[in-house]
Amino acid sequence: MTPLRKRMMEELQLRNLSPITADTYLRAVERFARYYNLSPEKMGPEQVRGYLLHLMNDNEVVASTILVNRSALRFLYVATLKQKWFDEEIARPKRRPTLPGILSAAEITRILDHTNNLKHWTILATFYATALRANELRHLKVSDLDSQRMVLHVRHGKGGVPRDIALSPVLLERLKVYYRWRRPTDWLFPSKQHHDQPLDPASIRMLCRNAGKRAGIGRPVYPHLFRHACATHMLDAGADLRTIQVQLGHSDIRTTARYLRVSLQRLQAIRSPFDALQLKPIDRSEDDGRQR
């Protein structure tokens, strides 16, 4: 381990950032150093700008990835190396709002019906029934299921904030089937190779992608799609935004409000003011037909 990496890890630890954020930042800095084959201590604003432009010009890199890399490099130079030039020299790209991708209820059903592996089926069902993030699901323990209170305890929420969410009775019955078959003792979804560890994030992404392909879904299927689907379908069913905010563990209700823009039921319920106009009927054009 280099002295710079050690210093950055210490700064991350002092600020009590989540292990996922710390790992993401460290990996981003590693890629930056590897791109120039130089230590970041020997580089400055020109190299940072050049690297971010390189990422922006790569069509396979989404805007959120660029923002994450900028945040990682900012942490490196401001918090670790105590440089003061970063915010003045490195512009922050404007975040363009995007609509979350939504799987329909029919697509969710098709994905589950085409999944024969019981463990994979239960993971996919849990994603949709609870709207958990992938890291929250992989850290679930058997003891987090409270069947008496019908509550699921999320210990590893985003930002280290735990929460309790309602446990679906139908999901609970399916979890009991899985439990009687798999008999997990600690982690609800343990690693196949290492039973004392939770399932690997890459394995979760892979099983979601493969499930989508088997079901003939025409776009990549990843864990967060089930979260988006659950939130939107809850909204369609009449749940209020505050309830959905608690379920998803959003700190800001404006994040939850994004689902208002993709709720099919609400979009279809909106009546255009055009519909209220008292218009005379029209069945043909009265011009000479030359302008069409």
For the question of residue 77 being annotated catalytic, the response is no
94 is catalytic: no
195 tagged catalytic: no
Nearest to 55 by CA among 82, 32, 76, 36: 32
Asked about 227 being catalytic, the answer comes back as: yes
Selecting among 5, 205, 224, 266, the annotated active-site residue is: 224
Beta strands 163-166; 145-146: pairing state? unpaired
Beta bridge partners of 146: 151
Spot the catalytic one: 51, 77, 178, 259: 259
Which candidate in 182, 250, 258, 266 is catalytic? 250
Is position 120 annotated as part of the catalytic site?
A: no
List the one residue out of 264, 266, 270 whose CA is nearest residue 105: 264
Q: Which residue has the tokens 């209820």?
A: 105
List, in order, residues 6 or more apart from 54 with CB less than 8 Å away. 35
Dihedral sign computed on CA atoms, order 52, 13, 141, 198: positive
Q: What are the residues whose beta carbons fall under 8 Å from the beta carbon of 43, sequence distance 6 or more?
A: 36
Q: Looking at 5, 74, 158, 174, which residue is catalytic?
A: 158
Which is the catalytic residue, given 133, 138, 156, 228? 133
Is-catalytic flag, 133? yes
Residues belonging to the active site? 133, 158, 224, 227, 250, 259
